[in-house]
Every structure is written in structure tokens, then in C-alpha cells.
Amino acid sequence: MDSYVAWVTQNPLLSAAIQFAILGTLGEMISFSLVNKRVAMPCSGWQLIGKVFAWALLGVIIKYGFAGMKGFTQALIDHRLLPGFLSQGFGWAFAVSVLTNVFFGPQMMAFHRLEDNLILGQKGFAGITRAWWTLIWFWIPAHTVTFSLPTDFQIGLAALWGLVLGIIMGYSKNASKKLVPAPAN
């Protein structure tokens, strides 16, 4: 554990990039495999390399976003624009999580969708509404836990949450396919 803390402390952006590159890509691969009910690649090899780099960039953006949103939250508390009970403990973690997912999350997800579309040669933002809903039912609770931890563990857990969400989304897509009645002959 000490080695991990030393690594993320000494290499905050590189460690964020590597953790997201690995866990974000793995989450996509697991989700795709669950939907297709077999181990499968979500794209070509070159596109997968592009996705690894896209997740790495996203990790760096999220590292900056977390730092910025903590400062934003503290500024709101300092100016008495948020209640004082949000200045520490669970209240602090919840406030940072809500503000992060309301003010930073939607744009970050739109950027990530744009990255994905460029890599896959697609257009539009299909599925973005479903992704934005995850900010409420998944990311606010998940990041409340994340921001309850010491800073050195927050990016790693955020990347791990991405893997968890990939699994949840894979199962939910599979379940929704089962709910659709088969066409009548």
C-alpha cells in the first residue's frame, strides 16, 4: 500500500492516466462481453489502442476535475453559499460528489462520447442521456465514498468505479434485451 501511495503522490497525472487506461478499457471490454454473452472485443485492435489513450486522457482530466471541484466546493462553503455541515466528513464528501457530478460530470461525459465517436468513426451522441442518468443513480453515491477517502486513493477508486459501472451497464443491457418480447412469426 505504501508503494501505491508513493507512486500516486510522486506521479499524480501519470498514475491517473494509467489507472483509467487499464480499468476504463477493461470495464468497456467486460460490458461488451456481457452484452454479447461471450468474451469479445468491442472494436478493432487499433481502435482499442485509441480507447486506451482516450481513457488515459480522461484520467488526467478527472484528476484535474477532482482538484478543481474540491476548490469550488470549499469556495462555496467559505462564502456561506453552502451550509457549514458540508465542510467536513460525510457532508464534505457528499457536497463534492454532488457538485462534481452536476457541474463537471455532464461535460466530461460528452467529451468522452466525442472521443469514442472519433475512435470508432461514428457521429452523434447516441446513449448520452443514459450515461448522464448514471451521474445521479451511480456516480453521486460512488463518489461520495470516493471523496470520503484520503486524496491518494480517490483517483484509483474512481477508475475502479468505472470498471464496476461497465459491469452494471453490461448486465443491464443484457437484462433489457430479455424484457423485449420476441417478434411474432
Question: What are the sequence ranges of the domains in the chain?
Answer: 12-168
Residue pair 105/139 in contact by the 8 Å Cβ criterion? yes
Q: Please enumerate, as own/partner, the contacts of 73-80 that have beta carbons within 8 Å and a separation of 24 or more.
A: 73/99
Q: Which three cell numbers stand for residue 25?
A: 478499457
Predicted TM-score (pTM) of the model is 0.90
Mean pLDDT of 55-63: 98
**Residue 22 predicted with pLDDT over 80:** yes
Q: Give, in degrees to the nearest 5, the angle at Cα 139 between 25 and 92.
A: 130
3-state secondary structure of 119: helix
3-state secondary structure of 85: helix
